[in-house]
Structure 1
Amino acid sequence: MGHRFEMRKDIELDATPEQVWEAIATGPGVDSWFMGRTEVAPGEGSRGSFTMAGYTEETTVTGWEPAKRFAYRSDPGPDGAFMAMEYLIEGREQSSTVLRLVQSGVLGDNWETEYEAMQAGWNMYLSTLAAYLTHFPGRTGAPVAAFRPGAGEPDQVWAAVASAFGITGTVTEGTPARLHVDGLPPIDGVVDLAGLPTYFGVRTSDALYRFLHSGTDRGNVLVLGHHLFADDQDPARAEQAWQEWVNRLPIG
């Protein structure tokens, strides 16, 4: 039997309500900071979709108040399970905005593990949203994803990722990070997310690189979800290069 849940998060963003709206209520905006690929059509009752790893979830917009409120709900599954999202936007002084989100729906039998994973995932994605609005305002990023199921325990995975970026010792925000991926331009940036043992991020002048560990109970999957902002980037080529890189990453 499914388990009903509700999760609330909020974050203050260095952006106007209009900028936040563009980031959460348009497909290109969402693709600039969230996982997968999203399509959004304007207006209450319109249809949208979310696609990741070959799976597509269809959605319906249930709330559309530009720069104020955006909500949608997924189509129910055969068992009645669904997900619903609501974003509330509140402008503050000095061009800052508070974004509040409420996610609700029905989780499966392993709901506690799923809920904890969503909590940690939203911490990373909201931090990525903040980085996007702060460092890449007015631009849109191309999403790039790669996966390695059964990658290893968190400590093994993060040791390998840190080593690949030339990082020794404790991983902290602000640490220089450099990496070469075959077939792609060199990466030279800084660690801007250090949410270990769950997630790790690097920011450069033209990209946000994100790495997420699913946890032991969810298959020890290492998930790469990057956002590329350079005009000359080839997302398909980059995705293939990153998949090859994560497949070869020496772990353990």
Structure 2
Amino acid sequence: MGHHFELQKDIELAATPEEVWDAIATGPGIDSWFMGRSEVEPREGGRTRFTMAGQTEEATVTSWEPGKRFAYRSDPGPDGTFMALEYLIEGRDQGSTVLRMVQSGVLGDNWETEYEAMKVGWDMYLGTLAAYVAHFAGRSGAPVAAFRPGAGTPDQVWAAVAGAFGISGPVAEGQRARLTVDGLPPIDGVVDLAGLPTYFGVRTDDALYRFLHSGTDRGNVLVLGHHLFAADQDPARAEQAWQAWVDNLAIG
């Protein structure tokens, strides 16, 4: 039996309402901070498409007020489940913006686990949105994803990931982070998200690197969701290199 839910998050962003709108209501903008790849038909009644791991989900735009409000609702599943997402934009002084995100709908039988995963996951994605509009506004990022199911417990996974970046002891925002991935340029950046035991992020001059642990109840999956902004980027090559890296990461 389906379970109705609503989840709300507010965040203040160092960007104008117009910059925030471009980030949340256009395909290239969404690709620069959210998972997967997105397409948006820019009108009320238009369609959105979200593709990840070879699967595409579609939704209908239910509100289109540029610079103010953007909302869409997914097509219902055979069991009545659906997702609706609404963004409300409010400009503030000094060019900042408050963004309110409201997600609602109907979840399936395992709704409690799904709800908790979404609640924490949104903290990472909105943190990534804040980093995008603050450091890469006006640029489009190419999303790069990799997955390792059954990677290990959160403690095991984060010890391995942090160690690979040369970090020992507690992980904190502001720490230097360096990593070499075979076939890619060296990474030299700073920890900008430290939401352990669920997520971890590193920002460099030309990329946002994001690592997410699904939790034990969801298969101990280590998910990599990066966004590359370099002019000479090769997303397909980078995705292959990151998948090989995560497959071979020593965890345990």
User: Structure 1 length as normaliser, TM-score?
Assistant: 0.99
Q: CA deviation at 1:48?
A: 1.4
Q: CA deviation at 1:55?
A: 1.2
Residue deviations 1:170-221, cap 9 Å, x none?
Answer: 1000111000000000000010000000000000000000000000000000
Which structure 2 residues correspond to residues 37-76 of structure 1 after superposition, within 5 A? 37-76=37-76
Which structure 2 residues correspond to residues 1-252 of structure 1 after superposition, within 5 A? 1-252=1-252
Aligned mates of 1:117, 1:161 — CA distance in 2: 20
Residue deviations 1:94-153, cap 9 Å, x none?
Answer: 000000011001111111111110010000000000000001111110000000000000
SS in 2 for 1:19: helix
Root-mean-square deviation (Å): 0.5
Q: How many residues align?
A: 252
SS in 2 for 1:145: strand
Aligned mates of 2:47, 2:193 — CA distance in 1: 33
Give 4+ residue runs of structure 1 displaced > 3 Å after superposition: none
SS in 2 for 1:126: helix
- Structure 1: unaligned runs, 5 residues or longer: none
Which residue identity is paired with 1:207?
Answer: A
Aligned mates of 1:239, 1:129 — CA distance in 2: 21
Which residue identity is paired with 1:32?
Answer: S
Aligned mates of 2:190, 2:17 — CA distance in 1: 28
Aligned mates of 1:135, 1:17 — CA distance in 2: 16
SS in 2 for 1:245: helix
Identity %: 83
User: Structure 2 length as normaliser, TM-score?
Assistant: 0.99
Aligned mates of 1:117, 1:79 — CA distance in 2: 21
Q: CA deviation at 1:230?
A: 0.2
Aligned mates of 1:105, 1:54 — CA distance in 2: 24
SS in 2 for 1:208: strand
Aligned mates of 2:149, 2:182 — CA distance in 1: 21
Aligned mates of 2:186, 2:5 — CA distance in 1: 43
SS in 1 for 2:45: coil
